[in-house]
Amino acid sequence: MTRPKYNRILLKLSGEALMGDQSFGISPDMIKYVAEEARSVFDLGVQLAIVVGGGNIFRGVSAASFGMDRVSADRMGMLATVINSLALQDALERKGIQTRVQTAISMHEVAEPFISRRAIRHLEKGRVVIFAAGTGNPYFTTDTAAVLRAQEIQAEILLKATKVDGLYDSDPAIQKNAKFIENIRYMEVLEKQLHVMDMTAISLAMDNDLPLVVFNLMSKGNIRKVICGEVVGTQIRN
């Protein structure tokens, strides 16, 4: 069996990734696929934590742009991430993986509150931990939450799963000659304002020397390949 390069990782999934080919909500086929990919990592003995976005249900920034109060909109977005986290939890447990959902806002009947030491203990006991509700604060994205949680649980690397192969110097959907970037430094991402994550998340990862890999979730086996040290997607480091 291939030996993993990392012992503890954090995987960032966008809410949109759970939509599949739908225009809204959660695709049963897609969430099953994500659970299968997670299982392949879990089988390596790697400690896996996950942060899920909520864009497939509600995007606070978009709602605020239409006149909704930003704080209220962001809180609704946090609740959307909880829905996605519970759906992912169900899919993972159907694959025989023990999980825990921890939320940044209190909802004791639904999930545990986020406590970093408890999260680490769950990981050490072989459970997948899903972090919901972002940071619990408005104005902060789930990308920032992913970097923050990665630092708090002492993850060795952050994996950002997307719908593209990695980072390009321009939008490949618009620019046909967009160049793929295999390796880049955090400072270059900030200077060139490449939209891989929001600038707060990038700055936080850079300040804490957290390696980041951006890759295509839809290429089966990619998560496992990254964890085993294969060159996949875009590597971002200091």
32-72 tens-digit pLDDT: 999 999 999 999 999 999 999 999 998 766 766 678 898 99
Say what the pTM is. Answer: 0.94
What the chain holds in terms of domains, given with CATH numbers, is 8-237 (3.40.1160.10)
pLDDT single digits (tens) 74-102: 999 999 999 999 999 999 999 999 999 99
Known binding-site residue numbers for ATP:
12-15, 55, 59, 162, 168, 171
What pLDDT, on the 0 to 100 scale, is given for residue 60?
64
The amino acid sitting at 59 is R
Binding-site sequence positions? 12-15, 54-55, 59, 74, 135-142, 162, 168, 171
Instruction: Give the model's pLDDT for residue 67.
Output: 81
Element of type H or E holding 71: helix 70-94
Q: Among 112, 109, 108, 60, which Cα is nearest to 81's?
A: 60
The pLDDT score that the predictor gives to residue 186 is 96
Positions in the chain whose pLDDT score sits under 50: none
Tokens encoding 211: 């390696």
Annotated binding-site ranges for UMP? 54, 74, 135-142
pLDDT at 3: 86
Helix/strand/coil for 72: helix
* Phi/psi-derived region of residue 209, left when phi > 0, alpha when psi is between -120 and 50, beta in every other case: left
CA distance 155 to 230: 18
pLDDT at 229: 92
Spatial distance between the Cα atoms of 203 and 206, rounded to a whole number of angstroms: 5
